[in-house]
Amino acid sequence: MQKFTKLSGIAAPMPLVNIDTDMIIPKQFLKTIKRSGLGVNLFDEMRYDDDRNEIADFVLNKPQYRDAQILVAGDNFGCGSSREHAPWAIADFGITCVIAPSFADIFYNNCFKNGILPIALPQEQVDVLMKDAEKGSNARIEVDLEAQTITSSDGDVFSFEVDAFKKHCLMNGLDDIGLTMEKASAIASFEAKAAAERPWV
């Protein structure tokens, strides 16, 4: 998993509330167990028409937001079913930070395990960043995980809270497998000792 420390990127505005995981990645794309390749289907039903042509006025299809790395969204982002494919699709598209007033718990926790920083801010601060994002590619929002700050293109600075353990994992690129591998030598020692003491097992 990629480390997340600081990010300066284009933010895409999506002022919708209750964006659920089926909107993020529809159920027909859940057959894969690979984390890659899902970015093209992110927000699929909003991005494409029935003939698979791009819908021009959808935010991520607009030229200024095709390389967005930050998403500024409405309340209760990631609600619905607990599909891990949702953060997979977001990350594969290239978005590594989602800012919203609130998140569904399972989606929120899944983000950290997939290299995405979800930031919950008061509505009035999200409104400021939403307006900033609407400026397009000329406006870049800066996110500093170590300092736990967001800086708008106009210089507004907002602080955010994040669990210390989740912050540590994200800054060091540690998912569940990475955390386990940190203990590899201790695991190997335990297995060697167990094999010597109980060779019949």
d(CA 143, CA 125): 14
Q: What is the pLDDT of residue 198?
A: 80
d(CA 63, CA 67): 8
Give the pLDDT confidence of 136-161 residue by residue, as tens digits: 888 899 999 999 999 999 999 999 99
- pLDDT at 116 exceeding the cut of 70: yes
Element housing 201 (H / E): none
pTM: 0.87
Query: CB-side exposure of 173: number of CA atoms within 13 Å?
Result: 4
pLDDT band at residue 183, thresholds of 50, 70 and 90?
low
199: DSSP letter: T
**The dihedral formed by the CA atoms of 8, 47, 101 and 129, expressed in degrees to the nearest 10:** 40
Give the pLDDT confidence of 90-109 residue by residue, as tens digits: 999 999 999 999 999 999 99
d(CA 41, CA 23): 10
Does residue 88 or residue 186 have the better pLDDT? 88
Q: What is the pLDDT of residue 177?
A: 61
Q: DSSP assignment of 41-82, as one string? A: GTTHHHHB-TTS-B-TTSGGGSGGGTT--EEEE-SSBTBSS-
Does residue 177 or residue 140 have the better pLDDT? 140
Element housing 125 (H / E): helix 123-133
Among positive and negative, which fits the CA dihedral 139, 128, 23, 89?
positive
User: What domains can you pick out in the chain, each with its CATH number?
Assistant: 6-197 (3.20.19.10)
pLDDT band at residue 200, thresholds of 50, 70 and 90?
confident
